[in-house]
Amino acid sequence: MSRVIFAFPGYEDIADNIAKELHYSLGKLFTKNYPDGESLIQIKTDIRGKEIYLIGGLKDPDSKIMGLIFFAETARELGVGNVHLVAPYLAYMRQDKRFQKGESISSEVFGSLVSKYFDSIITIDPHLHRHRSLSEVYFIPNKVLHASKPVADWIKHNVEKPLLIGPDEESKQWVADIANKAKCPFIVLNKVRHGDMDVEISVPEIEDYETYTPVLVDDIISTAGTMIKVVKYLNRQGKRPVCIGIHAVFAGSAYDNLMASGVERVVTCNTIPHTSNAIDISKVLAEGIKSLSLDNELKLTGTKS
């Protein structure tokens, strides 16, 4: 079956890289917002009977969700085989329980909404905390990929004697994996969040690592409050850390605040387009898409249950 890759704005380079890597064709898509904020999408490639992949991250999800739904529904009306969503960054994963009485569990509502329109979903390092797997919130075939290899490669090539630091217990999963691949030590701190902009961090003794370069690693940098707290602590120890975020959400002035906080450098993966992007995840996505396509083929030919 022939396969076509489409890109939502900001993801054209990644789509191009994936199309080249997998020898898929690139589809033409026009998108715009009317002055009143409503979305328009126009699929300009013949997709009848084809398998299509839409690459589009979900930062600012409320402004993107209608475009995604219009894309999937229009693709079906135009006779597409299957329509897959490749969302390098998946939003709404942090609201994974009712923190206050009456709150919505947004991760579940958002997951079931997207599942109604797409045949499968691929993403990179979603914030899986209380939900242990993506299948708890997405009712379609899904694939969770990891940025750990390109992040570890970047560290190996750019940081001398790194000590990886995860800001909280949740970060252990990705920090341990990256440290293992980069062959360097890691520690994990203890974080208590009192509010959106108010976090408290306790830092264990790091005297044993006096000669190391601290590298803070987190999945999401949103307000940057978490990272800034640790940066300030390290500054008092005479250290300027390198900060690595997988997903560069950077709400409001977060990036400027982090840059001004006493860091050596801030780098992120291009799961969300941002000036700090230095780590390319195109290859990770290409491998994920390829293996999902293979899974689907095996299912279609009945060689796998």
Q: First CA to last CA across the chain, in angstroms? A: 21
Our finding on whether 166 is near ligand R5P (CB under 6 A) is no
**Among 80, 219, 244, 271, which residue interacts with ligand R5P (rule: CB under 6 A)?**
219
Q: Within 13 Å, how many C-alpha atoms sit on residue 165's CB side?
A: 30
Instruction: Assess 220 for contact with ligand R5P (CB under 6 A).
Output: yes
Which of 51, 96, 125, 218 touches ligand R5P by CB under 6 A? 218
Asked if residue 222 binds ligand R5P (CB under 6 A), the reply is yes
Applying CB under 6 A, among 67, 150, 167, 288 the residue interacting with ligand R5P is 167
In 106-261, the DSSP E strands lie at 120-124, 142-145, 162-166, 186-188, 190-195, 198-202, 213-221, 242-248
For residues 50 and 302, give the distance between their C-alpha atoms in angstroms, rounded to a whole number: 20
Question: With respect to ligand R5P, which residue has the nearer C-beta, 51 or 219?
Answer: 219
Contacts of 301 (CB under 8 A, 6+ apart): none
By CB under 6 A, name the one of 119, 125, 170, 177 that touches ligand R5P.
Answer: 170
Number of residues that bind ligand R5P (CB under 6 A): 14
Interface residue with ligand R5P, options 54, 72, 114, 221 (CB under 6 A): 221
Return the number of the residue (66 or 176) whose C-beta is nearest ligand R5P: 176
Stretch that binds ligand R5P, among 118-126, 148-156, 220-228, 232-240 (CB under 6 A): 220-228
What does the alpha-carbon distance between residue 79 and residue 59 come to, in Å, rounded to a whole number?
29
Smallest gap from residue 300 Cβ to ligand R5P (A): 37
Q: How far is the CB of 131 from ligand R5P (least distance, A)?
A: 13
Query: DSSP secondary structure string, 226-271?
Result: HHHHHHHHHHHTT---EEEEEEE---TTHHHHHHTTS-SEEEEETT
Contact present, 188 and 169 (Cβ < 8 Å): yes
CA distance 159 to 155: 5
Q: Say whether residue 213 binds ligand R5P (CB under 6 A).
A: no
Residues at the interface with ligand R5P (CB under 6 A) = 167-168, 170-171, 199, 218-226
